[in-house]
Amino acid sequence: MNKDKRYEIFSRLRDDNPHPTTELNFNSTFELLIAVILSAQATDKSVNIATAKLFPVANTPEAIHQLGEEGLKKYIKTIGLFNSKASNIIKTCRILIDEHHSQVPDDQNKLEALPGVGRKTANVVRNTAFGHAAMAVDTHIFRVSNRTRIAPGKTVLEVEKKLLRFIPKEFLVDAHHWLILLGRYTCIARKPRCGSCIIEDLCEYRDKNYGDLEK
């Protein structure tokens, strides 16, 4: 795929959605961090349902830490892997209190040092909360990047590096959200909805599916 085609792809995505953001509900950087930790192997919808009950009760490192693991589990038990997530979140709150004055650090290494926070989670926080051109490659972005040939790669890290290298700079900050939304609602896993995709004519996927038009 050449640079002109990539530029047109992201121009269309921007025109269609000028101000994209995460579908996780949050009102602070700390709430975002907790929501993203909870979202691992879970849907945004399930996380939003849980945090709608949790955050009015506890939405600071001190308040969640005071709940303790068992107290926290009561709010997140409907989310997959809630036992390990509760343990990680309590540990993360302790570190934020002791080492970061209860603030979420704007630093990749410091974020990745928090329990339950890997490279992808750190990138989401740095992109969404702090406005960095960070690319959090999840299953949706990995699929879209390879199907369209925007940034094909065999590993998550390879795709991440190619996206940061190939996407025109003016689109980098928002590209993460556009690609996730495209993969979540249009370029879905089994039967991509090519007929209703705004970049279908630019996409280099060989096995396009137009079943969404046969209704």
Which member of 5, 73, 138, 169 is catalytic?
138
Active site residue 16: no
Amino acid, res. 192: P
**Catalytic residue at 120?**
yes
Query: Per the residue annotation, which of 107, 120, 161, 201 is the catalytic one?
Result: 120
Question: Nearest 5°: phi and psi at 101?
Answer: 55, 35
Q: Looking at the annotation, which residues are catalytic?
A: 120, 138
